[in-house]
Amino acid sequence: MNPDDPEEPKPEDERAEGAPSEPAAPDAEPPVRDVVYVGSDAPEEPASPPEATLEPPEAPEVVYVGSEPDPEPAPEPDALSSDALYVPGAAPPPRARAYEPPAADAEIPMPRREPTRSDRQRARDARVNLDLDLGRIKRRKRYGLLITTISVLFIAFVLAPVTWVAAYGFLDAPSTILMMQRAAEGETIRHYPVAINRMSPHIVRAVIAAEDARFCEHDGFDIEAIQDAMESNAQGGRLRGASTISQQTAKNLFLWMEPASARGGPLSWIRKGFETYFTALIEFMWPKRRIMQHYLNVAEWGDGNFGIEAAARARFGVSAADLTPLQAARLAAVLPSPNRYSADNPGPYVRRRSATIAERSRVVRNERLAACALFLDRPDESR
């Protein structure tokens, strides 16, 4: 190499090892060079700040004495884990089955042993008890309907009627089925119950003379009157009734009005049976005075007037306590058909019948036939 030739630029390494380099300009930054340190001359890097994540503790070193154990096979990647890799073209890894509990009815094998005598006896006892239980259930089903029917009939025909009659033994009837029927037909109902001591004694004697001369003697049914009525009806004469005041009280208080078209039919016989039953109840549970009071308070006198107080006011403009013997006789004369005959404007039939009833009323008073209902007609020693 010619020393006279201009000096060729030397590589940076040579300059680093040889002559000192030219000083850099004061404003220019020194170039960044890659410095490689060899050996222990490398300076220590500054410690970086600790990260927020926690590193798992290092596993303790295991020292084996003797021969080393066989290396454990690497675990196969789980098909459901995120580490499993899918290789294109390869069959998908099998999916892990979910845990399935054993079926409830799965038979669990039990140790078999020969049955003993006590086991056979317990089995026989169990069969006998089962047969007894089944028989008891069958009998209960068989007689359950019968017991229920008897209970319903007992409540409907014994408990309810007895309670009803017992209540009316102390209370006045606020209304009756016949009053409801008349109100449904458009009539204005007038009903003013009063005690028997606020009624004229003439009306008590008049109804006994007109309807039931043996009211104080019978127990609700006049057998002689029934026989006379049956003989008269058999001979083809005028039809006669044999209903007592007790029967009419039971009918008016507790039963419905029988239409003329239904007379003689099955419903008429059913109504007659109820009338007989209620008549026996009131005769057994009420005194005669109470029966007469209910009869005069619920009897129909036409035009929506029920009871002697409403009839006396509507027909004669007086109270029930102020009725005269003739007025009482006229009110008693129209009782069989109150909507057909008039007591305040009587016709020939009502006049004749009123005169007959007034004459019989004097007989009732003289013979004390109303003593069971009127204290006034009782002998002095029994008052």
pTM (2 d.p.)? 0.63
Q: pLDDT tens, 64-101?
A: 555 555 555 555 554 444 445 555 555 666 666 666 66
Question: Which residues are 191's β-sheet partners?
Answer: 306
Residue 98 is which amino acid? Answer: A
d(C-alpha 373, C-alpha 204), whole Å: 8
What's the average model confidence in pLDDT over 166-189?
91
Would you say residue 10 has pLDDT above 60?
Answer: no
Query: Could you give the C-alpha distances from 374 to 158, 260, 285, 287, in angstroms and in order?
Result: 32, 35, 19, 12
Q: pLDDT tens, 236-254?
A: 655 556 789 999 999 999 9
Q: pLDDT tens, 42-59?
A: 455 555 555 544 455 555
Q: What is the pLDDT of residue 25?
A: 47
Tell me the average pLDDT of the chain.
77
Would you say residue 372 has pLDDT above 50?
Answer: yes
Q: pLDDT tens, 153-172?
A: 889 888 999 999 999 999 99
Q: What is the 3-state secondary structure (H, E, C) of the chain?
A: CCCCCCCCCCCHHHHHHCCCCCCCCCCCCCCCCCCCCCHHHCCCCCCCCCCCCCCCCCCCCCCCCCCCCCCCCCCCCCCCCCCCCCCCCCCCCCCCCCCCCCCCCCCCCCCCCCCCHHHHHHHHHHHHHHHHHHHHHHHHHHHHHHHHHHHHHHHHHHHHHHHHHHHHCCCCCCCCHHHHHHHHCCCCCEECCCCHHHCCHHHHHHHHHHHCCCCCCCCCCCHHHHHHHHHHHHCCCCCCCCCCHHHHHHHHHHCCCCCHHHCCCHHHHHHHHHHHHHHHHHHHHCCHHHHHHHHHHHCECCCCEECHHHHHHHHHCCCHHHCCHHHHHHHHHCCCCCCCCCCCCCCHHHHHHHHHHHHHHHHHHHCCCCCCCCHHHCCHHHC
Task: Give Cα 382 distance to the centre of its chain.
Answer: 54
Count of positions (residues) in the chain: 383
CATH 3.40.50.720 applies to domain 177-220+248-382: no
Query: Could you give the C-alpha distances from 306 to 179, 212, 361, in angstroms and in order?
Result: 8, 20, 23
190 close to 314: Cβ distance less than 8 angstroms: yes
